[in-house]
Chains A and B, each alone.
Chain A
């Protein structure tokens, strides 16, 4: 049983990296606007399909496909914020949740009508031969996932905690109207940060497409997983969420990889387990593993 443990830890790191990229965007949006964006998983899905369209179907070169996908997702992020989130923020924190559920459904239906409901995957270009390091198998692409996640999250941490832009972001997260009265351009920064979150989500979606496969219905399950990471870390706590994402990856892989008293869970239960984690955390530590009581009620 223990011999498989290193492999499980590496797998957890890979899954965790994807979840961390996916949920960081969600946590950024939550910390600025105090809203739950249910469409975030669908944004991941859309990002992946966008890339599939440009790279897989229109057969553009890799950099052009990346550029076009980025532009597309920036536009989607802007429209989402402008039409589906910002008009409702003032009225009630629940309304953006409802409208983003509607948006998620719209995206899911649109994509399944255009691309069909079948499972798709990207044409794999990178060599998929796995390397063996001390009994642990890992493909170069999986290495790239982990490294790029660490790089992106590291840059994000640097931006948020060391730069003047990051100070402004934290000020808005803490107290929106006070930040506004200090002359910080709240609207501009909100747009910038949320579009950045959209791009992170889309990138995570593309990684999912390379690592496993994509289908139009994957959105809500990834949304709920990102919520799970947020609940683990405490709502609005970005680094708690990132850590929560890695913990979620660990829990998922351990739950199906290890056998308990000769009985191991079938792989299908992986999702159920992740969602049970949310309920468990809400029962035991309602404000997250690292959070104190949240300010927003």
Chain B
């Protein structure tokens, strides 16, 4: 027992708490599109990457302040989401999935190849920790407080959004689009809002990711990451607010014991991904009839 407390208050415990906060923001915002809107959004990690790179570039090359970085990351992601939404939100399910997948593929190809800006696979080192209101967040404990506050605010906003008129319309049109339209709901606008908000929060998470690691490279924003966030939402059951919080805690902490086993680091990454993929498949198998109810059309 004392052992547990030692772990939780140690640097390692703080590190895990920061990771949990980060993924809470990411997963709950993906839940808005994948869960409530039943939009199979595979561009979430692309937004995460855009947010992370925006913050990294602004703070290293222009030494911009925390507020500026976060604001730019969020608005850049919202802008990208508006653009992508205009192309793909009017499409049917399959095409929407392919369109968002293509967008994230474009983003990751740009991260690797646009070397003059993103430094390619070398990544961007030396991202300074933020300072706000005279407090610096160089210490991980302080940083945990900052990201924790933001994670709680995000959860609160998204909770209100889920139960707001907009969230209700989103759920309604996911179930039966025509009935929602004949209740006077602007289906296109509702979807666009959801897509934009979801992407903006992914940008926020990206911003914190760069600040926390001080170094980012394209490998953090691959398909594996997308699979992980998707697994969180699906394990937590799409559309359920509490479920996603629980699943975040469970899945972020689950592979940690692997660290203490004597496994060489070349196997550790693949083994984690393998674990996530197996859990994803298992949950889909187990809940296949409930996950995505068939949409109704007349």
* Chain A contacts to B: CB under 8 angstroms: 34, 36, 84, 87-88, 91-95, 97-99, 101-103, 105-106, 108-110, 112-113, 116-117, 220-221, 224, 227-228, 230-231, 235, 266, 268-269, 271-272, 275-276, 278-279, 282-283, 286, 294, 296-297
Chain B, Cβ-Cβ closest to A286: B91
Q: Is B110 an interface residue (CB 8 A)?
A: yes
Q: Is the CB of A227 within 8 A of B101?
A: yes
Q: Is the CB of B110 within 8 A of A98?
A: no
Chain A, Cβ-Cβ closest to B297: A297
Task: Scan residues 249-297 of chain B and give those whose CB is less than 8 A from a CB of chain A.
Answer: 266-267, 270-271, 273-274, 276-278, 280-281, 284-285, 288-289, 291-294, 297
Q: Is the CB of B288 within 8 A of A271?
A: no
Give the distance in Å from the alpha carbon of A147 to the alpha carbon of B296 in the complex: 47
Q: Is the CB of A276 within 8 A of B106?
A: yes
Q: Is the CB of A297 within 8 A of B92?
A: yes
Q: Is the CB of A105 within 8 A of B276?
A: yes
Q: Is the CB of B93 within 8 A of A94?
A: yes
Pick the contact of A278: B99, B113, B266, B289 (CB < 8 A).
Answer: B99
Chain B, Cβ-Cβ closest to A88: B288
Give the distance in Å from the alpha carbon of A38 to the alpha carbon of B76 in the complex: 29
Q: Write out the residue numbers on chain B whose beta carbons fall within 8 Å of the beta carbon of A235.
A: 94-95
Q: List 10 A-B contacts (CB under 8 A).
A: A84-B281, A99-B280, A103-B281, A109-B270, A230-B98, A235-B95, A266-B113, A268-B112, A286-B90, A297-B297
Q: Is the CB of B102 within 8 A of A105?
A: no
Q: Is the CB of A275 within 8 A of B102?
A: yes
Q: Is the CB of A227 within 8 A of B284?
A: no
Q: Write out the residue numbers on chain A whose beta carbons fall within 8 Å of the beta carbon of B278.
A: 102, 106
Q: Is the CB of A294 within 8 A of B99?
A: no
Q: Write out the residue numbers on chain A whose beta carbons fall within 8 Å of the beta carbon of B292.
A: 91-92, 94-95
Q: Write out the residue numbers on chain A whose beta carbons fall within 8 Å of the beta carbon of B84.
A: 279
Q: Is the CB of B98 within 8 A of A283?
A: no
Chain B, Cβ-Cβ closest to A277: B102
Q: Is the CB of B40 within 8 A of A278?
A: no
Give the distance in Å from the alpha carbon of A73 to the alpha carbon of B200 in the complex: 43
* Chain B contacts to A: CB under 8 angstroms: 40, 84, 87-88, 90-95, 97-99, 101-103, 105-106, 109-110, 112-113, 223-224, 227, 230, 234, 266-267, 270-271, 273-274, 276-278, 280-281, 284-285, 288-289, 291-294, 297
Overall SS of chain B's interface = helix
Pick the contact of B102: A109, A228, A286 (CB < 8 A).
Answer: A228
Chain B, Cβ-Cβ closest to A271: B109
Pick the contact of A112: B113, B270, B276, B281 (CB < 8 A).
Answer: B270
CB distance from A295 to the nearest CB of B (A): 11
CB distance from B166 to the nearest CB of A (A): 23
Chain A to chain B: the 7 pairs with minimum beta-carbon distance, closest first: A272-B109, A268-B113, A278-B102, A105-B277, A109-B270, A109-B274, A102-B281
Q: Write out the residue numbers on chain A whose beta carbons fall within 8 Å of the beta carbon of B230.
A: 98, 101
Pick the contact of A102: B90, B266, B277 (CB < 8 A).
Answer: B277
Give the distance in Å from the alpha carbon of A158 to the alpha carbon of B184 in the complex: 52
Give the distance in Å from the alpha carbon of A98 to the alpha carbon of B283 in the complex: 11
Give the distance in Å from the alpha carbon of A95 to the alpha carbon of B93 in the complex: 12
Given contacts A276-B106, A279-B102, A282-B95, contact A113 B113 (CB under 8 A): no
Which of A97, A102, A221, A294 neighbours the largest number of chain B CB atoms within 10 Å of its CB? A102
CB distance from B126 to the nearest CB of A (A): 24
CB distance from B210 to the nearest CB of A (A): 22
Chain B, Cβ-Cβ closest to A98: B284
Pick the contact of B40: A97, A102, A103, A230 (CB < 8 A).
Answer: A97
Q: Write out the residue numbers on chain B whose beta carbons fall within 8 Å of the beta carbon of A105.
A: 223-224, 227, 273-274, 276-277
Given contacts A93-B93, A95-B291, A101-B227, contact A113 B270 (CB under 8 A): yes
Pick the contact of B227: A97, A102, A275 (CB < 8 A).
Answer: A102
Other A-B contacts than A95-B284, A103-B281, A269-B109, 13 sampled, CB-CB below 8 A, are A34-B94, A84-B281, A99-B281, A101-B223, A101-B230, A109-B270, A109-B273, A113-B270, A116-B266, A272-B105, A275-B102, A276-B102, A282-B95
